[in-house]
Chain A
Amino acid sequence: MKDEQSPEDKELESILKQANLQTDDRLHVNEPSLRYFEGLVQEQNDTWHRRLLVELACLWGIAFIFISFLGLTLFYVPLLFILIQMITTLILIGYFLRERKEMEVMRQ
């Protein structure tokens, strides 16, 4: 791409600049009042606060669920462990009793 501009390019650029100024003059914008902008800012702030509230509520909800789950886990996991130990012990006792019975039958 060449950096030097041809006279046609320069002419077109100057026409574009003039067209821009002319366009600016010709476009009539219906500008709302300051009150409208103040309302819009207020509305956006309210929306932001509402969203913040919902997000915080969700965060607290999730935190509550996790803490509850952790609390339950802390209580029930040792209980589960003890239960498994007890079941294992009972099964072992049952096994020994059965074996002993069989041995006695064999001796007789």
Chain B
Amino acid sequence: MDSERIRRAQAGDQQALAALLKAHYSFIVKYVWKMSGDEQLAYDVTQDTIVKAIQKIQQFKHKSTFSTWLIQMATHTYIDYKRKQKRSRRIDEKAIQEWKNPQAQNTRDELYDVQEALWVLDDHYRIPIVLKHYYGYDYQEISSMTNVKAGTLKSRVHYGLKKLRKELLSHER
């Protein structure tokens, strides 16, 4: 379904491209949101990623899935945003409040803590952890997405998880 749409989009079918991007919009927003903890940033990065996807659709070579290609662009865009704006790590308080739904708090408190603890980590730990453990990409795929060596990523995930565990323990206390 996707590959047919992509081929049509690459052949110049604007409606196919629009439908393709609409189908993946929520996926990208959620990815950036989970990675940054900042709702507005998630929408901004997604907007830029969509524009880049429109401009570079001809460069998609069908070697990976379309969502992987989009995640790669979204990751680069997110890193660029952080670099340009030099934003301090800002966790969207509103998102966290919405996040902590009182009805669900008793049942799944630990899971909310995990997401919050993840947002506290540095980008270079958080990005590979999200890609590896949320999206199930292997180190080679993450390496090609982030332009970081697989060995480095492996070590970052390892130390990131260690930091995450420490953070979770401090939440428990």
Contacts and interface: CB of A to CB of B under 8 A. Distances in A.
A and B found bound together? yes
B74 to A, nearest CB: 14
Contacts of A9: 161
B81 interface: no
Interface in A22-42: 22-24, 26-27, 29, 31-32, 34, 37-38, 40-42
B133 A41 contact: no
Contacts of B129: 16
A42 B14 contact: yes
Which interface class (under 10, 10 to 19, 20 to 34, 35 or more) fits A? 20 to 34
A38 B18 contact: yes
A45 interface: yes
A31 B133 contact: no
Contact of A16 (B26, B98, B114, B154): B114
Nearest to B133: A16
A15 interface: yes
A20 interface: yes
B55 A12 contact: no
A17 B51 CA distance: 30
A8 interface: yes
Nearest to B155: A1
A70 interface: no
Contacts of B19: 34, 37
A95 to B, nearest CB: 71
A12 B133 CA distance: 10
Contacts of A68: none
Interface stretch (B29-37, B65-73, B83-91): B29-37
B72 to A, nearest CB: 19
A29 B133 contact: no
A39 to B, nearest CB: 8
Interface string B68-107: 0000000000000000000000000000001101000000
B33 to A, nearest CB: 6
Interface of A: 1, 8-9, 12-13, 15-20, 22-24, 26-27, 29, 31-32, 34, 37-38, 40-42, 44-45, 48
Interface of B: 14-15, 17-19, 21-22, 25-26, 29-30, 33-34, 50-51, 54-55, 98-99, 101, 108, 110-112, 114-115, 118, 129, 133-135, 151, 154-155, 158, 161, 164-165
